[in-house]
Amino acid sequence: MKMELRVQDTELRANSDGSLTVSGYVNKTGQLSEILGVTKRFKEKIAKGAFSRAIQFAKRDVDFLAEHKGDLILASTRNGSLQLNEDEQGLFMSAKVTPTSWGKDYYELINSGILRNMSFGFRTIKDSWKQIESNLYERTIEELELFEVSVVKNPAYSQSTIAARGIDLVEEVEIPTNLKMSNIKTENSVNKQKEINNSMKTEHRYGTTYKNEVEEKRTLESQAFNAFVAGEVQEARTLGIQTTAGNGAVIPTAVADTLVEKLEESSPVFARARKFPSVAGTLRIARETSVGTGAFVGEGQSLTEGIIELGHIDLAQKRVGAYMALTMQLINDSAMNMAEYIPNLLAKRTFKAVEKSILRGTLDEDFNGIVPNEEIGKFTLPMTVTDVELLDKMLDMVTSIHPEYLQGSAFIVSRPFFNRLSKLKDGAGHFYMQNGIINGRPTYTFLGLELAVTSSLDEGTDVGQVPCVFGNIEAGYAVMIKKDPQLITIQDTEQALRGSVGFLFDAYMDGAVYNPDALAKLTITT
Query: Residue 292: its pLDDT value, please?
Result: 52
- At residue 193, the pLDDT reads 37
Closest CA to 37 of 181, 209, 157, 215: 215
Predicted confidence band at 385 (pLDDT cuts at 50, 70, 90)?
Answer: very high
Render pLDDT for 229-243 as a digit per residue (tens, 0 to 9): 555 555 555 555 555
Q: Which domains does the chain have, with CATH numbers?
A: 4-210 (no CATH), 212-272+320-526 (3.30.2320.10)
Instruction: Note whether 366 and 383 are within 8 A (CB).
Output: no
pLDDT category of residue 398 using cuts at 50, 70 and 90:
very high
- Residue 329: which region, alpha, beta or left (left: phi > 0; alpha: psi -120 to 50)? alpha
Q: In whole numbers, what is the pLDDT of the chain averaged over residues?
A: 75
R_g of the chain, CA atoms, integer Å: 29
253 closest CA partner among 1, 486, 13: 486
Q: pLDDT above 90 covers what percent of the chain?
A: 26
pLDDT at 225 over 50: yes
Predicted confidence (pLDDT) per residue in 432-473, tens digit: 998 866 555 667 889 888 899 999 999 999 999 999 999 999
Q: Say yes or no to pLDDT of 203 above 50.
A: no
Q: What is the pTM of this model?
A: 0.52
Rounded distance between C-alpha atoms, residue 60 and residue 77, angstroms? 9
Give the pLDDT band (50/70/90) at residue 118: confident
Handedness of CA 264, 267, 273, 279 (dihedral sign): negative
**Buried b vs exposed e over 145-163: b needs ≥16 C-beta within 10 Å?**
bbbbbbbbbeeeebbbbbb
Res 309 pLDDT > 80: no
Q: Which of 89, 149, 117 has its CA nearest to residue 10?
A: 117
Long-range CB contact pairs, 184-190, < 8 A, 24+:
184/128, 184/129, 184/130, 185/126, 185/127, 185/128, 185/129, 186/126, 186/127, 186/128, 186/129, 186/210, 187/125, 187/126, 188/125, 188/126, 189/125
For the segment 152-187, what is each residue's pLDDT rounded down to a tens digit? 875 432 322 322 222 334 445 666 665 655 444 444
> Integer distance in angstroms from the first to the last C-alpha of the chain?
69
Instruction: Identify the pLDDT of residue 196.
Output: 33
Of residues 151 and 345, the one with the higher pLDDT is 151
Tens of pLDDT, residues 44-61: 899 999 999 999 988 889
Q: What is the pLDDT of residue 70?
A: 84
The confidence score (pLDDT) of residue 218 equals 47
